[in-house]
Amino acid sequence: MSFGETPITIIGNLTADPELKFTNSGAPLVKFTIASTPRTYNKESGQWGDGTAAFFRCAAWRRLAEHIAESLTKGTRVVLSGRIRQHNWQTPEGENRSMLAVEVDDIGPSLQFATATVQRNTPAPAGSDPWGVESGDRTTTGAVAPVGSASEEPPF
């Protein structure tokens, strides 16, 4: 993580199955949304209730993207670690837009209310990047840079 990035940990449920796509250069990209709903205790009624849900748009790249698409489905409770990113773009009408989203560094099922079976993937070939990122896809800070052309859809 680079200086100045905003780290975030989210615990919540996937609102739909992750959507796996590939950029023009062939890099896997997965998009999904997590709903995080706080539980609050009402002393007057003596019962727990749902608070207001927060929805987080998320994206992951390359090998992690493929693992997410193969492993997680709608409704899965997950624990996510990532970085908040601001994405800016211009509409075809020339209007400037922006949104905050989460670039995923790591994610897995929450084991609070479920169990999981872990299956290790085969290691990366000798001499390759174990994270599945080609050397040309990293910036000088070590963060993964978006791949593909500027005309491709936004990662979020």
Per-domain boundaries in the chain: 6-39+48-109
CB 18 within 8 A of CB 44: no
**CA-to-CA distance for 41 and 51, rounded, in angstroms?**
10
Stated as kind and residue range, the H or E segment containing 71 is helix 62-71
Q: What is the pLDDT of residues 89-118, one digit of tens each?
A: 999 999 999 999 999 999 999 999 888 888
Q: What is the pLDDT of residues 116-145, one digit of tens each?
A: 888 887 666 666 555 554 444 433 333 343
Which class is domain 6-39+48-109? mainly beta
Rounded to two decimals, the pTM is 0.73
